[in-house]
């Protein structure tokens, strides 16, 4: 696939070196991205966690969320380095953070931080460096359209807001959080609204993306569908 790029970069036996996975809130990007990376023998990078890390840092520093200049300066001064297994933690400044990036105070603010162009410039630059050697599945909102437009494979996951909010609600319950489903649904819709309508890099499927409605599919099923799609594209056997 896109032979020139794949031949220069580390790739899986399927011939795929760089996979972009985009989609709205709780579409299954993380669970599918991790499992796909494992199946293909590639690394995994969750770019959402990088926006969450800058949001968390802004809250720690008391940076006003409407001060675009200060947010941009914060992102420039504090590179975010993924650590931990499966890209589930990051180093930002002197802090190593993981579960705190999924707290509701971060959920409520992250899309406001992510719409700031100066923040995006800093993080997109870092994401391209992290993906430069290939051998990686990268999940986010603008990976196939902006960050890695030459990815070997672009996947766009979608499902209704109700079903995505339901998944997120069940995840939160399983972690022992007491949350109201209607509140999770409201927050899902609010974040989608900002992500889809921001001026810089709005959430949209790349023209050449493989579109997958995950509504009635388990994560395993979604991974199988993507692997099948790769087999069709490459004519390869089991990736
Ligand atoms: O896991 P979930 O779908 O809830 O969100 P996430 O992937 O952790 O991303 C959190 C937020 O970061 C998104 O709602 C976007 O506002 C922003 N984001 C972005 O703008 N661009 C990316 N490539 C990844 C995330």
pLDDT digits (tens, 9 = 90+) for 188-205: 999 999 999 999 999 999
Alpha helices, DSSP H, located in the chain: 3-8, 29-40, 47-61, 68-77, 104-114, 117-131, 161-174, 181-197, 219-234
Give Rg (Cα) of the chain. Answer: 17
Residue 136 to residue 115: CA distance in whole angstroms: 25
Protein residue with least CA distance to atom 7, ligand 1: 48
pLDDT for 4 equals 36
Give the residues surrounding ligand 1 with Cβ less than 6 Å away.
25-26, 29-30, 47-48, 51-52, 110-111, 114, 140-143, 191, 195
Distance 200 CA to ligand 1 centre (A): 14
Protein residue with least CA distance to atom 10, ligand 1: 48
Tokens of 188: 């899902």
Protein residue with least CA distance to atom 4, ligand 1: 25
pLDDT for 65 equals 96
Read off the pLDDT band of 212 (50, 70, 90). Answer: very high
Read off the pLDDT band of 238 (50, 70, 90). Answer: low
pLDDT for 14 equals 74
pLDDT per residue over 84-109, tens digit each? 777 789 999 899 999 999 988 999 99
Distance 80 CA to ligand 1 centre (A): 15
Calculate the average pLDDT of the chain: 92
pLDDT for 213 equals 96
Read off the pLDDT band of 9 (50, 70, 90). Answer: low
Percent pLDDT > 90 in the chain is: 82
Distance 7 CA to ligand 1 centre (A): 31
pLDDT per residue over 118-143, tens digit each? 999 999 999 999 999 999 999 999 99
Residue 1 to residue 14: CA distance in whole angstroms: 10
Protein residue with least CA distance to atom 9, ligand 1: 48
User: Which ligand 1 atom is at minimum distance from the Cα of 127?
Assistant: 23
Residue 78 to residue 73: CA distance in whole angstroms: 9
pLDDT for 166 equals 95
Overall average pLDDT of the 155-170 stretch = 96
Distance 48 CA to ligand 1 centre (A): 4
Protein residue with least CA distance to atom 19, ligand 1: 141
| Size of the chain, expressed as the number of residues it contains | 239
Overall average pLDDT of the 26-35 stretch = 96
Overall average pLDDT of the 5-16 stretch = 62
Overall average pLDDT of the 30-48 stretch = 96
Protein residue with least CA distance to atom 14, ligand 1: 111
pLDDT at 3 over 60: no
pLDDT per residue over 49-91, tens digit each? 999 999 999 999 999 999 999 999 999 999 999 997 777 899 9
Read off the pLDDT band of 8 (50, 70, 90). Answer: very low
pLDDT for 76 equals 97
């Amino acid at each position: 696939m896109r032979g020139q790029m794949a031949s220069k970069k580390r790739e899986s036996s399927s011939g795929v070196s760089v996979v972009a996975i985009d989609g709205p809130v709780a579409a299954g990007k993380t669970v599918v991205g991790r499992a796909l990376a494992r199946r293909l023998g590639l690394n995994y990078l969750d770019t959402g966690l990088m926006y969450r890390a800058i949001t968390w840092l802004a809250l720690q520093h008391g940076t006003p969320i409407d001060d675009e200049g200060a947010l941009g300066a914060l992102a420039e001064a504090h590179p975010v380095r993924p650590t931990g297994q499966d890209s589930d933690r990051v180093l930002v400044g002197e802090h190593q953070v993981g579960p705190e990036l999924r707290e509701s105070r971060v959920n409520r603010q992250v899309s406001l931080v992510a719409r700031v162009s100066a923040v995006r410039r800093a993080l997109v630059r870092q994401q391209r460096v992290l993906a430069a050697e290939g051998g990686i599945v990268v999940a986010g909102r603008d990976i196939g359209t902006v960050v890695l437009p030459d990815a070997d494979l672009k996947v766009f996951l979608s499902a209704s807001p109700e079903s995505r909010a339901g998944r997120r609600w069940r995840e939160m319950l399983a972690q022992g959080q007491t949350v109201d489903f209607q509140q999770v649904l409201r927050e899902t819709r609010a974040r989608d609204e900002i992500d889809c309508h921001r001026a810089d890099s709005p959430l949209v499927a790349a023209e050449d993306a493989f579109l997958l409605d995950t509504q009635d599919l388990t994560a395993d099923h979604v991974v199988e569908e993507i692997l099948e799609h790769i087999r069709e594209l490459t004519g390869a056997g089991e990736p």
